[in-house]
């Protein structure tokens, strides 16, 4: 039996964590979420709009999907801490996907602000899942201040460039004592499978599904890919060889 993903003391029954950004509308989003089989899904915190109200939240509650608020849009530790506290008040969860990005062009995490915010939020009782660079040293420091998971990027948010530095992801996995979630950059199913083959415990993605031509079908593909990649990791792949090795008996044997 496969063990359940445990983030802090939250049991997460799926290893595909979804985002909700980029979906054309709530109907498309609902079909994609259901097809993905996800049990944990991110939302952003913004000023309430009289028209949309709390629509996303109502949808996630109806689908019985646990909500993971993020701090998207925050540039400093102070902004991220305030946003996380507002999310905890609004949603009644101490889970937070911590995002502190350096600039709009790359959306890459600002490691100094990120570590500062992570430490403050852990001290304040949050279960912190930081979106981080694919930097093994930073990942170790985030775990050191008490983060419940580390979430290295495969490539910048929304690029669909896949996993640009698989070796770094493997090093992060090798040393981590908390779950490693590959977050950002996934473009298609093979890349989600690769993340799991590298030893990640889960994959977090949004754009690859929500902006696909057929989000529902891509969500299904991602679900299968995460399952396949994890099974392959557990099965143990063959070593790479330089020369061929016949898989059929010799003809004169």
Q: Which helix (H) or strand (E) holds 96?
A: strand 95-98
Pairing state between β 127-132 and 95-98? parallel
> Three-state DSSP class for 183?
strand
Among 14, 38, 70, 127, binds another protein (CB under 8 A): 70
Q: Could you say whether residue 90 binds another protein (CB under 8 A)?
A: yes
11 part of the active site = no
Q: Do residues 137 and 111 make contact, with C-beta atoms less than 8 angstroms apart?
A: no
Q: Do residues 79 and 102 make contact, with C-beta atoms less than 8 angstroms apart?
A: no
β-bridge mates for residue 17, sequence order: 204
Q: Could you say whether residue 10 binds another protein (CB under 8 A)?
A: no
Q: For the segment 23-52, give every residue that binds another protein (CB under 8 A).
A: 23, 29, 42-50, 52
Q: Could you say whether residue 14 binds another protein (CB under 8 A)?
A: no
The residue (of 19 and 37) whose beta carbon lies closer to another protein is 19
Q: Do residues 207 and 158 make contact, with C-beta atoms less than 8 angstroms apart?
A: yes
Q: For the segment 193-212, give every residue that binds another protein (CB under 8 A).
A: 206
The residue (of 75 and 140) whose beta carbon lies closer to another protein is 75
Among 5, 10, 20, 115, binds another protein (CB under 8 A): 20
Angle between helices 26-36 and 215-235 (to 10 degrees): 20
Residue with the two structure tokens 């993020």: 70
Among 37, 69, 152, 187, binds another protein (CB under 8 A): 69
Q: Could you say whether residue 15 binds another protein (CB under 8 A)?
A: no
Q: Which residues, 6 or more positions from 52, have their beta carbon under 8 angstroms from its beta carbon? A: none
The residue (of 22 and 146) whose beta carbon lies closer to another protein is 22
Q: Which of 97, 141, 230, 233 is the catalytic position? A: 97
Residues 151, 2: Cα–Cα separation, whole Å? 21
Angle between helices 136-144 and 111-123 (to 10 degrees): 20
Smallest gap from Cβ 97 to another protein, in A, equals 6
The region of 4-12, 79-87, 162-170, 195-203 touching another protein under the rule CB under 8 A is 79-87
Catalytically annotated residues: 97
Which residues contact another protein by CB under 8 A? 19-23, 29, 42-50, 52-54, 56-58, 67-70, 72, 82, 85-91, 97, 99, 206
């Amino acid at each position: 039996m496969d063990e359940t993903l445990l983030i802090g003391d939250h049991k997460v029954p799926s290893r595909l964590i979804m985002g909700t950004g980029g979906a054309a509308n709530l109907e498309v989003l609902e079909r994609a979420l259901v097809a993905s089989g996800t049990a944990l899904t991110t939302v952003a915190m913004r000023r309430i709009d009289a028209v949309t109200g709390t629509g996303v939240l109502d949808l996630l509650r109806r689908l019985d999907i646990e909500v993971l608020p993020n701090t998207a849009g925050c540039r400093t530790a102070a902004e991220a801490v305030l946003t996380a506290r507002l999310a905890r008040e609004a949603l009644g969860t101490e889970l937070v996907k911590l995002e502190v990005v350096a600039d709009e062009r790359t959306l890459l995490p600002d490691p100094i602000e990120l570590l500062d915010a992570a430490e403050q939020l852990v001290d304040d009782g949050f279960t912190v899942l930081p979106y981080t660079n694919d930097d093994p040293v930073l990942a170790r420091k985030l775990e050191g201040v008490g983060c419940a998971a580390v979430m290295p990027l495969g490539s910048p948010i929304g690029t669909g460039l896949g996993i640009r530095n698989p070796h770094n992801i493997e090093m992060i996995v090798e040393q981590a004592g908390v779950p490693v979630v590959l977050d950002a950059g996934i473009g298609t199913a093979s890349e989600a499978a690769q993340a799991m083959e590298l030893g990640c415990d889960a994959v977090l993605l949004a754009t690859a599904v929500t902006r696909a031509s057929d989000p529902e079908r891509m969500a299904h593909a991602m679900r299968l890919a995460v399952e396949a990649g994890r099974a392959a990791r557990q099965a143990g792949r063959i070593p790479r060889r330089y020369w061929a090795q016949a898989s059929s008996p010799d003809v004169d044997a």
